[in-house]
Chain A
Amino acid sequence: MIILGISLLRLGDLVLQRPLIEGLRKKHPQCEIHMLINKQFTHVEFLFEGLVDHFIYFDRESLQKSCGEREYNILWGYHQLKVLVEELNHIPYEAVYNFTHTRLTAHLMGLIKARHRIGIYSYEGRFYGLNNPWIQFFNNYFGRPEAAGFHYTELLARALAIPLQQKFLKGNRTVAQQTVLIQGLTSDSKKNWELSKFQSLVRSLEKETLFEVKVLGAPFERELLNKVFADKNLLICDFKEAAIALQNCALLITGDTSIKHLGALYDVPILELALGSSQPLQVGAYSNNSIILQSRVTCGPCGHSQKCSQPIHRCGETLSVAAVYEAARIQLNLKRMDWENFSNEHSELNTLRTQIHGVMGWSVQCLSLTEKYKFDEVIQKKTMVVEELNRQATISKGESYERRIGKLSVNGAEAP
């Protein structure tokens, strides 16, 4: 039996989907798993060793160019896509899973022959596969306040009926964990904390602790990082090298990045600075004991694709170097102060901790007593929604996945 998974969003989404692929492997131990991924992400295949048997590439960049650039024939993309689909249709797939739930993957999934289609797909302009209440919930609410408290990975697992078990990658810990890693840049400037603030943080950590501090960056970020950090503080590397560095670090300080999700896979202690459009209540680290500092500003979290609406980057300004430094010291067990006291001292921030319970699944706990009730409400609401959706799922059992028709939003259910 051969199963195909389609995952055509961003790097972070692919990393977040690893536990799902692991669940799929567990559900079908004897089957062959193929994954259709964006061509530019071949460098993350190492994360799926032993889980995925074969990768197939979607050349999104070229296809996208062919739709807009002047030298391309208007039907060049059509011919390329046809070749890809024909290759896929030569493989007798038992099932195909849509891991990304966008219109793009829904249309693509409609072209692929398989006995079962799990997730949304289109046929003659109509969307099918929406009869599972969890898929409906994911499709309608993910990325919106209604889905607060539901982690992307967890929700997708329920939507696709894949068993999810928290199991961290072991990695190769070769040295004592004496390094603090900082991921200074994110893919969205709104989510960035000022590099000068990171610079002050690095100086404080180097001066006041025995930890070595390294700022992670991709090769294309070197020039920008070099303006602020000395070469000795930089760790310019690819994704696989970053994974190795993470396995041996004592703490990762990061914004909302794919490196955060990579760190979570290895159960690295994480201090997340949730700024701009970061949605820590839906795409925080899928791990235990990740601490999230979120500025309490009326404009945040802002919209995913919008520009910052404020004259100054308020959420970034509100988050002080002193607060991040103190939180890092607590995470590194260098300070005895507990999180409750920290939260009370820094009332300008939401101080949150991620947890994964056997029954409840993933949750975010507020560590400040004064704000705790708000987050308890999120957990209560989640419990009620879980009960209701499970009840609906029991009722609708037996209906074909492929019979229900529905609407799919323009962006589908993307991770914010």
Chain B
Amino acid sequence: MSIISFSENAEGYLIPFEDKKALCDFSNPQEEAERWVASQNMTISNEIVLLGLGAGFHLRALKEARSYLKIHVIECRDQLLPIYKKQIQSQVENYSCFHSLEALLDSEVFETTLIKSLPVYFLRSSWGAQDDLFYSFWNNLTGRSVYAIAKHFASLGIEIDEGTLVSLKQSERPLTIKDATEIIIKSESSAAKESRGYFETLRELLR
């Protein structure tokens, strides 16, 4: 894990840097956070996942704009929470820090996110130098990885056949509803047959 350093901006806020990358806008992090909140579709659910605490201005802006939201914050760098608590908000609920994908996949928050199909939001600059790790978190939390979709389908009583699993694993791109539909069509299980119409309906919306 790389080193986090801090630099004070004109307003007196300590702005975190990782490999010379600022984790938010250095000169005006609050305006950036407000713009980010305004651009998000927050109508999906009252319970969400925020992927990346970064400097935390976007989390504060989100809480101010949508106080009813239950927010699960997921981070991978231990150094960020203390500074967030000190300069933004001392109380943080539903916060988790995972240093690896495996740790996330074993966690309760991952289970909850999948079971409830929670939406996942992020401010890209908050990912800093951890793009790859956060990307793999996003891929799994939104059900777009082979592992996550297999887990999803298992909860619906649908098994993915071996051949399909092998071909899906060869591709590194995030899975789409088209892939999910193909899995359902190829599956022999009765649960898959029952669900087929739903996936075929959704697939038509992509045409």
Contact = CB atoms under 8 A, between A and B. Distances in A.
A410 B205 CA distance: 12
Contact of B180 (A74, A102, A103): A74
A73 B120 contact: yes
Given A74-B142, A81-B202, A67 B197 contact: no
A372 interface: no
A65 interface: yes
B200 A69 contact: no
B114 interface: yes
Interface in A98-120: 102-104, 107-108, 110-111
Interface in A51-104: 60, 62-79, 81-82, 85, 102-104
Interface string B115-137: 00111110000000000000000
Interface string B167-207: 00000000111001000010000000101111111111111
B180 to A, nearest CB: 6
Q: Do most interface residues of chain B lie in helix, strand or loop, or is the interface mixed?
A: helix
A5 B167 CA distance: 41
A24 to B, nearest CB: 24
Contacts of B142: 70-74
A32 to B, nearest CB: 25
Contacts of B204: 102-104, 107
A67 B114 contact: no
B206 A111 contact: no
B40 interface: yes
B93 to A, nearest CB: 21
Given A69-B41, A73-B114, A63 B202 contact: yes
Interface in A368-416: 410-411
B152 interface: yes
B206 to A, nearest CB: 5
A219 interface: no
B195 A78 contact: yes
Nearest to A109: B197
A111 B120 CA distance: 29
Nearest to B144: A74
Contacts of B202: 63, 66-67, 77-78, 81
A125 interface: yes
B23 interface: no
A83 to B, nearest CB: 11
Given A64-B205, A124-B193, 4 more contacts: A67-B202, A73-B141, A75-B117, A103-B204
Interface of B: 40-41, 43-44, 113-114, 117-121, 138, 141-144, 148-149, 152, 175-177, 180, 185, 193, 195-207
